[in-house]
Amino acid sequence: MKNDHAEPRTASEAGWRLSRYNISAKHPENKGFIIVNLMKGTCITMDPIDMLPLSALDTLSEDSPVLERYKKAGIIVNFDEQAMLESLARGACAYPVSVGLTVCPTMGCNFDCPYCFENHKAEKMNAEVQDDIVALAERMLNASGAKHLHVTWFGGEPLLAPDVIESLSDRLIKLSADKGADYQATIITNGYLLDQEKADMLSRVKVNSYQITLDGIGPAHDATRHLAGGGPTFFRITENLRTVKISGKINIRHNVHAANKGEMEQLKAFVQTLAEESGNDLRYYPAPVSGNDASDERQSNVNLLCGTDSAEVGIMQDSHRFHRGRGHYCMAHHLWGVGIDEKGRLQKCWEDVDKPEHSFGSAKRWDPKDPLGTADDPDKLTVYLNTAGALRDAECRDCLWLPACCGGCPNKRIYMERQCVPYKNEPEAYALAVWQARLEKKR
């Protein structure tokens, strides 16, 4: 029987408490605060008086209307956030939102960049492997029931094999249509071979997003992104971007290291001017360079960023792609994304596509209906899936940044060492950057 005379519960008695994933910063324009919640992916501003109820949850009624804004923003919660992240990680492994294929038509490359994580081999994908990929895509769509197929063209340099891209795309587009799934594609290319004929072909086969790297202006770029055997590339790439009409978004990646860090603003302005001149949708973004075995073997002379030097770059990059906590870092953490090299070998990470020893199976034999039973090396599959969420790692489990970084790059965690966000000790700077990025989007 309901007791109509019972005292109403306070918010804290009802289980409401501050989220463990709030970060804050003083508002740069007034006396208020910016509150960012890494779990919910929200960013709100508050006056000092708005903050007072957050320190009074043990006296405020659970029904107080002033709490609604905090609840909606995820600033206060009444559930176990760590348990939710673990559930999200488990769900990401199996939940078939989309099938994602990273396809390398060749592992050969016309560049020899000192920080590249790959060792290149100049073989091209043959017709039999293409048949296997189409059959694999059909098995993955059938088993998952997903209504979206996304292909990333990668390598090596994928535009060394445009015929493979065209023929395989046509078949995958038809397969998607037959299965009632929509199809999208992106390409990661150095841009050197991107003429109008190839751009038109890529548009026809539904490539609507590009990643092309510029490492600075002129000599700064050519110092690290040069032709195999030597030779500059900056002028030809930028002329392609200026004169070729390219359909879709073009992300201009700047691999930032100590030698070219000073050119960030100059290159950003250059990209903006290039976009205006060409009419192409060019967007600059910086990314810190990190070490890897292949670059070490090349005895790279690139002074890699580390520690606090890369915090500024990391904040600039991640604040513009701020999102709610997902429980997984990348496709390596879920079953429905695979990398495929020119031989049809399957990997869980595109940093492994040149390493046959890291392959878990083949496009010919692997079937996601029985993912472990049909894997040639099940351990190479489960080692990735089981890093999702990173809750086994005590330091990650208790870390403020877990919803945002999900334990960091699984490849680095498995084969090198855990890679934390470079701005781990600068939450206030990150909160300000997220707020500023939101303002830019509104403008």
pLDDT in tens, 267-323: 999 999 999 999 999 999 888 776 555 444 544 444 444 433 578 888 888 888 898
Q: What single letter denotes the amino acid at residue 60?
A: L
Determine the pLDDT at residue 11. 95
Determine the pLDDT at residue 306. 40
Give the pLDDT band (50/70/90) at residue 248: very high
Per DSSP, the three-state class of 132 is helix
Determine the pLDDT at residue 193. 98
Give the pLDDT band (50/70/90) at residue 117: confident
Give me 371's structure tokens: 């993912």
Determine the pLDDT at residue 290. 63
Statement: 90-209+296-427 belongs to CATH 3.30.9.10: no
Among 246-255, 288-297, 386-395, name the one with the lowest average pLDDT: 288-297
Average pLDDT over residues 30-49: 94
Q: H or E stretch including 76?
A: strand 76-77
Determine the pLDDT at residue 300. 47
Give the pLDDT band (50/70/90) at residue 6: low
Determine the pLDDT at residue 5. 52
Beta-carbon count within 10 A of 214 CB? 27
pLDDT for residue 219 is more than 80: yes
Determine the pLDDT at residue 298. 43
Determine the pLDDT at residue 278. 97
Q: In sequence order, what are the beta bridge partners of 340? A: 103, 346
pLDDT for residue 356 is more than 70: yes
How far is Cα 376 from Cα 379, in angstroms, rounded to an integer? 9
> In the sheet where 42-46 sits, what is the strand order?
22-26, 33-37, 42-46
**Residue pair 346/340 in contact by the 8 Å Cβ criterion:** yes
pLDDT for residue 61 is more than 60: yes
Determine the pLDDT at residue 232. 97
Q: Which residue has the higher pLDDT, 293 or 425?
A: 425
Distance of CA 441 to the CA centre of its chain: 19
Average pLDDT over residues 192-221: 97
**Residue pair 105/158 in contact by the 8 Å Cβ criterion:** yes
Determine the pLDDT at residue 304. 47
Q: Which residue has the higher pLDDT, 140 or 1?
A: 140
Average pLDDT over residues 409-434: 91
Determine the pLDDT at residue 189. 98
Domain parsing of the chain, residue ranges: 1-79, 90-209+296-427
- pLDDT averaged over every residue in the chain: 90
420 closest CA partner among 318, 285, 320: 318
pLDDT for residue 111 is more than 70: yes
What share of the chain has pLDDT > 70, as a percent?
94
Per DSSP, the three-state class of 22 is strand
Determine the pLDDT at residue 301. 47
Determine the pLDDT at residue 89. 84
Q: Which residue has the higher pLDDT, 419 or 190?
A: 190
pLDDT for residue 114 is more than 70: yes
Say how many CA atoms lie within 13 Å of 143 toward its Cβ. 18
Global pTM reads 0.87
Determine the pLDDT at residue 399. 93
How far is Cα 29 from Cα 33, in angstroms, rounded to an integer? 10
How far is Cα 103 from Cα 168, in angstroms, rounded to an integer? 10
Determine the pLDDT at residue 295. 42
Q: Which residue has the higher pLDDT, 321 or 196?
A: 196
| DSSP string computed for 246-295 | --SEEEEEEEE-TTTGGGHHHHHHHHHHHHHHH--EEEEEEEE----HHH
Pairing, β 207-213 against β 249-256? parallel
pLDDT tens for each residue of 64-110: 999 999 999 999 999 999 999 988 888 877 777 799 999 999 999 99
CB under 8 A, 24+ apart: contacts of 368-377: 368/139, 368/140, 368/143, 368/144, 368/335, 368/336, 369/139, 369/143, 371/335
Determine the pLDDT at residue 227. 95
